[in-house]
Amino acid sequence: MSGAREGAPASWEVFLRVRRGLAHQHVGSVRAADPDAALAAARDLYTRRGEPMSLWVVRSDAVHTAAPDERDPYFAAARHKPYRYPEHFAPLTEKGPEGEHDA
Amino acid sequence: MTAPPAVSAVSEDGPSAHFDAFVAAGGTVEPRDWMPDGYRRMLVRQIAQHAHSEIIGMQPEGAWLTRAPSLHRKSVLIAKVQDEAGHGLYLYSAAETLGVDRADLLDALHRGQQRASATFNHPALTWADTGAIAWLTDGAAVINQAPLCRTSYGPYARAMRRVCQEEAFHVRQGYDLMRALCEGTPEQKEMAQDAVNRWWLPAVALMFGPPDTAQGGADARTAAPGAAVSRRARAWGIKHHTNDELRQRFVDSCVPQAERIGLTLPDPAIRWNEERGHYDFTPVDWDTYRRALGDDTHWARQRIAHRRAAHEDGAWVREAAAAYAARSDETEGRTG
Amino acid sequence: MSTTRDTSTKTATTGLSVAPTPTSASEAPTPTSAPATGASGGTAGAAPGAAPAGSAADLALHLQRLGDDALVLGQRLCQWITRAPTLDEDLALSNIALDLVGHARTLLTRAGRLDGTGRTEDDFAYGRPDREFTNTLLTELPNGDFATTVARQLAYTHYAVLYYEQLTHCPDTELAAFGARAAKEVAFHRLHADRWTVTLGRGTEESARRMRHGLERVWPYTGELFEEDEVLRRLSASGTVPSPAPLRETWLHRVTGVLTEAGLAVPAPTWSARGGRSGLHIEEFGPLVAELQSVRRQFPGGTW
């Protein structure tokens, strides 16, 4: 028996904003006993290079998501609505999409 | 994206055949997807061994942190050893998405149920060893790991992309360290050559795993199981190349590098083969491989003993952190 | 130095009372172990007249002291790596060590330029015998257990943040810029020390006991950080760099705050160690320097 286990009791998901203009992105997880320790661990682990802007840590068990068997009820409907996309319709000009506006 | 159909959909051949088709088509498997038990087990085993190797791999170089011969080299070595801890942690984090827990994996390492790469069963006897380790074993790791950035399991591939980006610095600084020694006094150069003599075999044999092709030195008797595992790993997109292909790639990259700084790789069979377009070298057959392992040596035992001692000495700290967190949770009225 | 190992030290811990440790402000400038090397001015006090040269020599010596503190503490922290209580802590301690070595490099390089010897950072780190190192004894104390290391980090980081912040006001722009960078880095080290002090203080009975012991072990060595000798008096009188002595009260206030949150008392040691600034070190320092320099000494004329 070797006392407390390696890796603190809680897992935390880590989100990093690598630079201004970008959203926070999930980069991985750390183990830590409390939020401050989690933030420090995430800083040491995920920000050794560059000049990151901001870090979030969220307890892994606080992330709520649909169960795998609920995936179809949640997401399957999105695939069948081609009319949500511009390509579903005829271009506005002869030249095709490039001829439309500047964008 | 032209993604293959979702993994969870079960095809007529059953989930396993569908899964195999999905990964064969280049699909990325994510944590909550259905996956065959064998796939999960193979991944856990491979990711854990990789993570353990990073952690155990901190030791031979870590032992030289206090003796680095310039403050620049000291800074570089600290940054490198730190990256190794970081790589271990990225990988444990990836393994945790498969439903195992870092603590269990480390317990398995401490109890000898899981292993780290045998490369580090060898001692770092001089300062030049830190250079040889970085140049040769990290160089081997880069070649070995680059394809893993495209491995079929998403969290593993993402962790590996992070690892590979950082690992490139390790190889370069190791080569730079060796170059400096070769340009120094005769004694320094001698130290560099001695280190290469001792680290070549662990790098070329152990960093790529046992021979898994007949050309690479696997004999008929032993080739079958090794090649079968290797084939399975490739079918699942966990690996993309045989061990022997990657080993050849490594030799091809090292020979000119060694020549450029005036070091000799300790293998008299190394010579350019015009026909193959590769360097020939002494095949890493099973005997060579076993000889390189260094199991049941002082150092193999010492690496694990060192890790276990750190773990045990730190138990009271981890207990304190857990107790403190539990108390803070209570006062904040947190549940679970 | 009056005492080396303090195992038998009576350390009265009286609640939160302020340690009545006498400061050494009245000490004469340390004449005993002048760095023998080159034109660095040797003893700090022995530079009357020659105002510009003298003040450059003073500043060089001061920066060398700060650099030695960072170097030696960094070296001690390197000894933790692969031995920390968690892998995360291996990473945290190596991060801190890396920053400290960086501070040492900047400070020692500057010292070598100022003192006219042209010594490089490596000349300072690898070319001096241990008697010529001018770090405080606090920074060279053996690591002890994790709590002792945390206690030492608590004392040093709170001091270093305060002092480096002061450096940002120096008229010397290079030094001011260094102060700004270093203060930010040490501020993170201070967060690390604060967090562990509170975690261990309020963790388990064992961790609180070890933390108390660690604090008692290191506290007698904290006074030396704030010592002011002739060199510092001249430097601060001329407005070159501030003296750390006036920061001691704020330092005590801040560490008291952390210790209170941790449920721990500020130790009130009955004695105060000194000697490091003048090259009188503890016996464990010799091996530390020998290890630091071993490879370099083994290969005379080597290039690295």
Nearest C-alpha in C relative to B176: C304
Residue C32: predicted pLDDT: 38
Among A87-96, B88-97, B161-170, where is mean pLDDT lowest? A87-96
From the centroid of its chain, how far is CA A53?
16
Count, residues in chain A: 103
What is residue C26's predicted lDDT score, i.e. its pLDDT?
A: 37
Phi-psi label, residue A54: left if phi above 0, alpha if psi -120 to 50, beta otherwise: beta
Please give the pLDDT value at position B336: 41
A33 touches chain C (CB under 8 A): yes
How high does pLDDT run on average in chain B? 90
CB-based contact, C285 to chain B, within 8 Å: no
User: Which of B162-166, B329-333, C134-138 is predicted least confidently?
Assistant: B329-333
Q: Determine whether the interchain pair C86/A40 forms a contact, defined as Cβ–Cβ distance below 8 Å.
A: no
Contact A38, A57 (CB under 8 A): yes
Q: What percent of chain A has pLDDT over 70?
A: 86
Specify the pLDDT at position B220. 61
Stretch C154-174: mean pLDDT, rounded?
97
Which range has the worst mean pLDDT, B228-232, C218-222, C263-267, C292-296? B228-232
pLDDT at C185 over 80: yes
Q: Is the dihedral of CA B21, B25, B27, B29 positive or negative?
A: positive
Name the percent of chain B lying above pLDDT 90: 71
Backbone φ, ψ for residue B80 (5° rounding): -70, -50
CA distance C294 to B126: 11
Domain ranges of chain B: 1-29, 36-294
Identify the band that residue C249 occupies on the pLDDT scale cut at 50, 70 and 90. Answer: very high
Name which of B168, B111, B178 is nearest B143 in CA terms.
B168
Q: In angstroms, how far apart are the furthest CA atoms of chain A? A: 76
Task: Give CA–CA dist B79/B75, Å, rounded.
Answer: 6
Helices then strands, each counted (H, E), chain B? 13, 2
Is C27 a domain residue? no
Chain A hits for C192, Cβ within 8 Å? 40
Confidence of residue C47 (pLDDT cuts 50, 70, 90): very low
Between C46 and B266, the more confident residue is B266
Does the structure show a pLDDT above 50 at C11? Answer: no
CATH of the domain at C152: 1.20.1260.10
pLDDT at C280: 97
Shortest alpha-carbon distance between residue B222 and chain C (Å): 37
Q: Each residue's pLDDT tens digit in chain A (103 positions)? A: 345 677 667 899 999 999 889 999 999 999 998 999 999 999 999 999 888 899 999 999 999 998 888 888 888 888 888 899 888 999 888 877 666 665 4
What pLDDT score was predicted for residue B233? 82
Burial class (CB in 10 A: 0-12, 13-18, 19+), B2: exposed
pLDDT value at position B7?
53
Nearest CA in chain C to A46: C91
Average pLDDT for residues C240-258, to the nearest whole number? 97
Contact C93, C124 (CB under 8 A): no
* DSSP 8-class letter at B112: T
Among C86, C192, C199, the residue with its CB nearest the CB of A6 is C86
Confidence of residue C43 (pLDDT cuts 50, 70, 90): very low
Of the residues B74, B80, B96, B329, the best mutation for testing chain C's interface (the one with the most C CB atoms within 10 Å of its CB) is B74
Mutation target for B interface from C78, C87, C91, C202: give the one with most B CBs within 10 A: C87
Chains in contact with chain B (at least 3 beta-carbon pairs closer than 8 A): A, C
Quote the distance between the C-alpha of residue C303 and its chain's center. Answer: 29
pLDDT band at C10 (very low <50, low <70, confident <90, very high): very low
pLDDT of residue C154: 98
Measured distance CA(C293)–CA(C125) in Å, rounded: 8
In terms of C-beta density within 10 A (0-12 exposed, 13-18 middle, 19 or more buried), how is residue A16 classed? buried
Q: What count of other Cβ atoms lies within 10 Å of the Cβ of residue B41? A: 12
Average pLDDT for B21-36: 92
Amino acid in the structure at residue B237? G
Q: How far apart are CA C148 and CA B131, in angstroms?
A: 33
CA distances from C52 to B118, C48, C63, C71, C113 (A): 60, 11, 16, 28, 14
DSSP letter (8 states) at residue A100:
S
Does the beta carbon of B108 lie under 8 angstroms from any beta carbon of chain A? no
- In order of A30, B103, C108, the CA distances from B329 in angstroms are 18, 22, 46
Number of neighbouring beta carbons within 10 Å of residue C203 = 28
Query: Smallest Cβ distance to A41: which of C88, C188, C199?
Result: C88
The answer as to whether C93 is a domain residue is yes
> C138: Cβ–Cβ under 8 A, 6 or more apart, which residues?
C152, C155, C156, C218, C221, C222, C224, C225, C276
Report all structural domains of chain A as residue ranges with CATH numbers, in order of start: 10-95 (3.10.20.520)
Cβ-based neighbour number of residue C169 at 10 Å: 12
* The pLDDT of residue B4: 47
Q: Is the pLDDT of residue B202 over 60?
A: yes
pLDDT at B29: 95
At residue A55, the 3 state secondary structure works out as: strand
The ipTM assigned to this model is 0.91
Query: Residue C31: pLDDT above 50?
Result: no
pLDDT at B163: 94
- C282 close to C14: Cβ distance less than 8 angstroms: no
Q: Answer with the residue of higher pLDDT: B233 or C62.
A: C62
State the number of CA atoms in the 13 A half-sphere of A71 facing the CB. Answer: 10
Q: Specify the pLDDT at position A99.
A: 65
Per-range mean pLDDT, top range of B14-18, C1-5, C151-155: C151-155
Domain B36-294 has CATH 1.20.1260.10: yes
**Collapsed DSSP state (helix, strand, coil) of residue A49:** coil
- Closest-CA residue in chain B for C290? B67
Kindly provide the b/e burial profile for residues C113-147, where b requires at least 16 CB atoms within 10 angstroms of the residue's own CB: bbbebebbbbbbbbebebbbbbbbbbbbbbebbbb
**pLDDT bracket for residue C2 (50, 70, 90):** very low
Domains in chain C, number: 1
Percent of all residues in chain C with a pLDDT value above 90, rounded to a whole number: 82
Nearest to A33 among B90, B316, B325 (CB): B325
Q: Which region among B184-198, C51-65, C66-80, C152-166 has the lowest average model confidence (pLDDT)?
A: C51-65
Across the range C134-152, mean pLDDT stands at: 98
Say if residues B214 and B223 touch (Cβ distance below 8 Å): yes
Which of C87, C188, C195 is nearest residue A37 as measured by Cβ atoms?
Answer: C195
Please answer yes or no on whether A44 and C92 come within 8 Å at the CB atom.
yes
Mean pLDDT of B302-318: 96
C192 domain-assigned: yes
Over the stretch C218-245, which tens digit does the pLDDT of each residue have? 999 999 999 999 999 999 999 999 999 9
Do the domain assignments include residue C23? no
* Closest Cβ opposite residue C95 in set A6, A8, A44: A44
Position C44 scores a pLDDT of 38
**What is the domain range of residue C251?**
50-298
HSE (CB half, 13 Å, CA atoms) of A77?
3
Q: Does A37 touch chain B (CB under 8 A)?
A: yes
